[in-house]
A and B are shown apart, each in its own frame.
Chain A
Amino acid sequence: MKRFILVCLSIGFISGAFTQCDVIDQPFNGNTIDTTSTTQQRNVLIEDFTGHRCKNCPKASKKIEELVTAFGSDRIIGLAIHAGPGNFTGTSTDYPADFTTLGGKQIQNFFGTNFLPVGMVNRESYTPSGNSHWSSYSNWPTLSSEAMDSTLRIALTASASVSAGSLNIAVEGYPQLSILHDLNIVALVKESDIVSPQLMPDDTRDADYIHNNVLRDFITDPWGEGFGTSPMVSSDTLTSSFNMAWNSAWIKENSAVVVYVCHPDNYRILQVIEVPVN
């Protein structure tokens, strides 16, 4: 009997005693989200790997819209990277637009996935043999919320304008604390409000689907250019400028330049901003 009690206690200890169940009657938390702060906070880049022949991809796009509505377009920056298997991203008579880019394909290849939709939120938790940097769109609210709550290490300002057929970007960075590793900076162009067919979750084709946040091209190398050299302190000011030929097929009013600063070794995005093209 003594042995029986001992066994039950042991097993109960590891499994039963701490085993819980949370029953939720009212799922909506009703919290109001404060979007009134005027000081720069850490923003979120959601790289949404997508395809116009991927029927679940509109769900991911919709999730970004929900987050932008809740937190503001300055805090949540979506980027639709059309890359992945050809049966999701390839062109055909029904899906004539080619949204793929060489840079997008490089990013997708490097981070290593072939299923869609899938995304990365600020490229957190990347390791060469791991998969934790990937997340499904259903996890983006949680990951975005956590990223926005984390410490801002560098603030950014940028301007972008088109002049004489050239897109010119100027960026300034302000470390908020000591940074003991180098920094890379990446700039790219994205375009929204593009009307083009999309396969929908009910397996139908929406000929008038509006594609948003579509990656058009990288202005810098997709892996970035040097922006800051370790060590950096909070009184430093970092500057960079870039330019590229403006593609006249892109509608300027619907386009924006996204600039982000990342760790050159683990690719973690420390800050991201989006500015309109003037």
Chain B
Amino acid sequence: MKRILLTSLYLFLGTSVYAQGQQSFGGQLHGNFQLDGQWYLRDEGIDPSGEFYPDERFLGQGYANFIYNQGDFSGGLRYENYQNVMLGFPEGYRGEGITYRFLRFKQDNLDITVGNFYEQFGSGMIFRSYEERGLGYDNAMDGVRIKANPVKGLYIKGILGRQRFYFEKSPGLVRGIDAEYNLTEFLPRLDSAGYRWNIGGSYLSKYQRSNDPFLILPENVAAAGVRTQITKGAWAFQAEYAFKANDPGADNGYIYKNGNGIIANLSYSKNGLGIIAGFKRIDNMSFRSDRNGSTIDMLVNYLSPTTQVHTYALPALYQYATQINGEEGGQVEANYKFKRKTKIGGKYGTLLTANYSVAQSIDKDFVDDSNDTLKVLQGYYSDPMRRGQIPYFHDFNVKITKKLNKNFKFNLSYLNLFYNRSVLEDGLGDEAILNNPDNQKLLGADIFIFESLIKLKSKHYLRTETQLLTTKDDRGSMAMMLAEYSIAPHWFFSIQDIYNYGNPVIDQRLHYPLASVIYTEGTSRFQISYGRQQRGIFCVGGVCRVVPPSNGVSFSLTSSF
């Protein structure tokens, strides 16, 4: 660690340091390192009461991974340090320590890991252990994993352990098995007909002791899933169905209803045309290894989003987050590449993409406690054939990507968003909304984006973004301009400003400027930024966290070897 800190200081002083894989004891040692920090400045414009201004003034956090490989053996560890955790990250990260360590070896068709590991069954509807560092999300398992390929085409995984809960472990145990079989290996006729067909199944159970004085809580809760994936030529179809037994917990209000979910996708791709259509319905599929967990803590499963994740700054303010207690929705996306030397395609071709996604509540017939004479605490009954009444989100967008000449290309996008703030920001439940629908906070917005990339001369590039979000809801309309100038391979300069010109509160019609400089040398990268960050929601894969407003100087150093 000392060496890494010295290295970072060296880099900070403007001297570059190369890092490469190291040969050690006949094997290979790899690693990477990241250090982030921010010096916060008091800004009464974005934080009038100072509630987000940290007492520490400076917050910093970092980590380093070290992985050693030799033949069929590998091992590694990760050290993490939060002094203290930066604004917007989960406050559960307090202190420092080795949070991930594992040993892994392969022998006799077995792949065995002891210690920490990440794993996934199918799409993750009943089990996914993963890390999303930008969100501060990490539900790494600590236990044993065995993978096996006992016969051709059959892949089996077994896991046993407990999930990470910041610097501690979840109180619940997780045990599961997953099998996937490639039918094409078993039925050669399928292969000769051009089919690829996989089927799979998973079973998982969590255990958490209970000592509730009022309720008999299930200490063992099981979930199971089946899935299939078929491809033939330009077509591909995949579907997964999952079921979860009674699992009363904080998310669902301690109801004993079973949960279920289905996800299906159909895609077609040929001759420049691509179409993908997806459908999802989930009902009471919150699944945590601690029944009292909340936010992003100790989730056993992962419910993939069926909405598009935007990376542009203004649409990213209103991202959709999967509603684990129940939602239904779908997404259709089509793209077509107009060929070169056609009227629309021009000299280099033109790509046109259109996407529509929608999410809404599922049908819920709530059980009035006074009428629950059987005392079974089912909470509600849901008819999968009936549509829910509460719209959560929709996003319609079209995008044109075109290269005009060898030095200039651009993207032009239009988005129409609907965003139910009561559900997605305030976390209001369906029952509360149905009882008082007029109290919902809704947002409708139109967004226009123009992005260009200009090659000025060899190794010199200028990228610009112009974004306009028009709405009368929430914080009102905003405009943004960004310019990035890069000199490959070392330097990168960026300046941007978001102006919230339509804020209904005149005092809050603020500018959010941000300037950054990045220097890259080999596998190391140093970034320093100064500016304002407005409050927002940062989402990855349907999981989101709230980002508070801040102002200050931030830096980031990453390096790998």
- Residue ranges of A at the interface with B (Cβ–Cβ < 8 Å): 3-4, 7-8, 10-12, 14-16, 18-29, 31, 33, 55-56, 66, 70-71, 85-87, 90, 109, 112-115, 127-132, 135-136, 138-139, 141-142, 144-146, 201-204
Contacts and interface: CB of A to CB of B under 8 A. Distances in A.
B498 interface: no
B160 A16 contact: no
A142 B212 contact: yes
B158 A142 contact: no
Given A19-B203, A20-B205, A204-B436, A70 B214 contact: yes
Given A16-B203, A70-B213, A132-B168, A21 B177 contact: no
A220 B166 CA distance: 33
Contact of A203 (B245, B375, B426): B426
Contacts of A28: 214-216, 375
Contact of A130 (B167, B210, B217, B292): B167
A4 B210 contact: no
Interface of B: 49, 51-52, 55, 91-92, 94-97, 108-110, 144, 146, 148, 150-151, 156-160, 165-168, 175-177, 203-205, 207, 210-222, 245-246, 248-250, 254, 256, 291-295, 375-377, 422, 426-429, 432, 435-436, 439
A141 B213 contact: yes
Closest 4 CB pairs of A and B: A129-B95, A11-B158, A21-B222, A86-B51
B295 A141 contact: no
Nearest to A55: B426
Give the dominant DSSP class at A's interface: loop
Given A128-B95, A138-B292, A146-B211, A4 B219 contact: no
Contacts of A29: 212-216
B503 to A, nearest CB: 17
Contacts of B49: 86, 90
Nearest to B224: A21
Nearest to B51: A86
Contacts of A144: 213
Contact of A3 (B108, B210, B245): B108
Contacts of B219: 22
Contact of B176 (A19, A86, A129): A19
B110 A27 contact: no
A56 B429 CA distance: 11
Nearest to B258: A23
A29 B219 CA distance: 14
Contact of B204 (A3, A19, A128): A19
A142 B211 contact: yes
A14 B426 contact: no
Contacts of A14: 144, 146, 158-160, 175
B156 A85 contact: no
Given A14-B158, A27-B215, A145-B213, 17 more contacts: A8-B150, A10-B146, A11-B146, A15-B176, A20-B220, A21-B222, A24-B217, A28-B375, A33-B213, A71-B213, A113-B91, A129-B96, A129-B166, A130-B166, A142-B210, A146-B211, A203-B428
A112 B218 CA distance: 31
Given A202-B432, A203-B428, A21 B205 contact: yes
B245 A23 contact: yes
A22 B218 contact: yes
Contacts of B256: 24, 27
A15 B245 contact: no
A25 B376 contact: yes
A25 B246 CA distance: 9
Nearest to A200: B432
A141 B51 contact: no
Contacts of A71: 213
Given A20-B220, A112-B94, A202-B435, A131 B212 contact: no
Nearest to A139: B292
Given A20-B222, A27-B215, A131-B92, A138 B250 contact: yes
Contacts of A20: 205, 207, 220, 222
B250 A202 contact: no
A136 B292 contact: yes
B375 A15 contact: no
A115 B376 contact: no
A128 B205 contact: no
Contacts of B220: 19-22
Which of A15, A131, A145 has most B Cβ within 10 Å?
A15
30 contacts: A3-B150, A4-B150, A7-B148, A7-B150, A8-B156, A10-B146, A10-B158, A11-B146, A11-B156, A12-B177, A16-B158, A16-B175, A20-B222, A21-B222, A24-B218, A27-B215, A28-B215, A28-B216, A28-B375, A31-B213, A70-B214, A87-B51, A109-B55, A127-B168, A129-B166, A135-B292, A136-B293, A138-B292, A201-B429, A202-B439
A99 to B, nearest CB: 16
Contacts of A22: 218-221, 245-246
B94 A129 contact: yes
A136 B156 contact: no
A203 B254 CA distance: 21
Most buried by A among B92, B146, B213: B213
A15 B295 CA distance: 27
Nearest to B55: A109
B159 to A, nearest CB: 6
Nearest to B173: A18
Contacts of A115: 91, 295
A129 B51 CA distance: 23
A141 B216 CA distance: 12
Contacts of B157: 11
A7 B214 contact: no
A203 B376 contact: no
A22 B247 CA distance: 9
A27 B150 contact: no
Contacts of A7: 109-110, 146, 148, 150, 156
Contacts of B151: 4
Nearest to B248: A27
Q: Which of A66, A86, A90 has the most CB of B within 10 A?
A: A86
B140 to A, nearest CB: 16
A131 to B, nearest CB: 5
B167 to A, nearest CB: 5
Given A19-B204, A23-B218, A130-B167, A12 B158 contact: yes
Contacts of B167: 129-131
Nearest to A146: B211
Nearest to A137: B250
Contacts of A113: 91
Question: For A12, A20, A31, which residue has the most chain B Cβ atoms within 10 angstroms?
Answer: A20
A130 B96 CA distance: 11
Contacts of B177: 11-12, 15-16, 19
Nearest to B204: A19
A21 B218 contact: yes
A142 to B, nearest CB: 5
B212 A145 contact: yes
A263 to B, nearest CB: 20
A56 B52 CA distance: 21
A130 B97 CA distance: 11
B29 to A, nearest CB: 28
B128 to A, nearest CB: 16
